[in-house]
Amino acid sequence: MRDVYSEQLDSIFGDLAAICRRVQTAVAQATLALMTGDASVAEQVISQDVEIDRAREQVEDTAFSLLSLQQPVAGDLRTIVAALRMVGELERMGDLSVHVAKVARLRVPDVAVPEEVRPTMSRMAAVAEDMVSRVCDVISGRDVEAAIALGRADEEMDQLRRTSFAELLSDDWQHGVEAAVDIALLGRYYERIADHAVSIANRVIFVVTGHNPAPAA
């Protein structure tokens, strides 16, 4: 019986990693839709979000079952509680990808991102996708060192966000309020994806070590 319990506990992290890979795909496809104005890709991101939601429900069901039937303590309890929080954050990352896809769909047949701000927005998207990929590996391997390094990587996203605001507020901005709102929202969506990735990495550190990581200076 205890072996079954241990397998169920281990399976939670495997399920989290699988959800994370779905999120990584959603981020990549949403960006593709955004940068190309491809409505079909945007629709795919939106429609497939239900799969992330269902996977989240399955993880929650497993976690609640373990809590009620096994009454875990210490490290096991820490793992289950952290998993419940992590799966919620993964779902929100999927939702943020849907928000990006909806901006892309709204502007079809045009592309939502003006040419002069594409370099900044493209880099924000690339950083976000990279951070999602890295947090998937952190979850799979429960890799504390990689989790710590991911926290440092968030600094580039913060700088890109500042650059994006500077572009919006520049006297040279000629694309009107609608485009400015789009860019402000998109920057926020990518920034939040990165923030969730860091938060998940920090939860992995807590699961493995029992200690919350110190906040970045």
Share of the chain above pLDDT 90, in %: 75
Q: Are 36 and 111 contacting, i.e. CB atoms less than 8 angstroms apart?
A: yes
The domain locations on the chain are 2-209
Share of the chain above pLDDT 70, in %: 94
5 exposure class (CB count in 10 Å sphere: 0-12, 13-18, 19+):
middle
Q: Using one digit for the tens of pLDDT, what is the confidence trace for 91-146? A: 999 999 999 999 999 999 999 999 999 999 999 999 999 999 999 999 999 999 99
Q: Using one digit for the tens of pLDDT, what is the confidence trace for 46-88? A: 999 999 999 999 999 989 888 887 776 777 888 899 999 999 9
Distance CA 77, CA 59 (A): 15
Instruction: Please give the structure tokens belonging to residue 81.
Output: 């509680």
In this predicted structure, the answer to whether residue 10 has a pLDDT above a threshold of 90 is: no
Instruction: Please give the structure tokens belonging to residue 131.
Output: 């951070």
Distance CA 193, CA 106 (A): 21
Alpha-carbon dihedral sign for residues 56, 57, 61, 67: positive
Distance CA 54, CA 127 (A): 27
Give me the pLDDT at residue 145, please. Answer: 93
DSSP H helices in 71-175? 74-107, 118-141, 144-169
Give me the pLDDT at residue 87, please. Answer: 97
Q: What is the DSSP letter of 108?
A: T
**What DSSP string runs through 147-188?**
HHHHHHHHHHHHHHHHHHHHHHHSTT--SHHHHHHHHHHHHH
Task: Note the pTM of the prediction, 2 decimals.
Answer: 0.92
Distance CA 83, CA 51 (A): 18
Name the CATH topology of 2-209: Methane Monooxygenase Hydroxylase; Chain G, domain 1 (1.20.58)
